[in-house]
Amino acid sequence: MTLTRRPTVLLVAALFLVIGAAFLTQLIPYRQIIDSNRQVESARAELAALEMENALLQADVAALETPEEIERLAREKLGYARPGETAYVVLDPPGAGQAVAREDPEPMAPERTWVEKIWDFVSGGDVGS
């Protein structure tokens, strides 16, 4: 009875090995695809932020071409005054700008179970972390 059963056990073990190897050979490319998609999303978000910043800078450049903006900046940044005007400079008392920086401790992430870690590995959830 063990002779007839042994080929069946070997066949089932070989089948599991083939299925496991097929799964593992497809797992790595799947994780790379997930990582590539995250990089594309990150690049798109960065591009949108840079385009927004570029639009703000273009608006600043356009505003600097007006005499009113040039005069406002000269008064504000350089303390210029027109003839006949009196310019006053108000200084903060010493030590008024120094604030005590208090750092809040970061909350500890809960420990994940081994099942959650394996699922994160399979689904690519650990790639972005």
**What share of the chain has pLDDT > 70, as a percent?**
90
Q: What pLDDT is attached to residue 5? A: 64
What are the domain boundaries of the chain?
A: 45-80
Q: What pLDDT is attached to residue 1? A: 46
Torsion of CA 118, 122, 125, 126, to 10 degrees: 60
Check the CA dihedral 116-121-125-129 and report its sign: positive
Residue 2 binned pLDDT confidence (cut-offs 50, 70, 90): low
Q: Read off the pTM.
A: 0.45
Mean pLDDT of 100-117: 77
**What share of the chain has pLDDT > 90, as a percent?**
19
Q: Poorest-confidence range of 1-10, 44-53, 68-77?
A: 1-10
Please tell me the distance from the alpha carbon of residue 102 to that of residue 98, in angstroms, as a whole number. Answer: 12
- Please provide residue 28's backbone torsions phi and psi, each rounded to the nearest 5 degrees: -65, -50
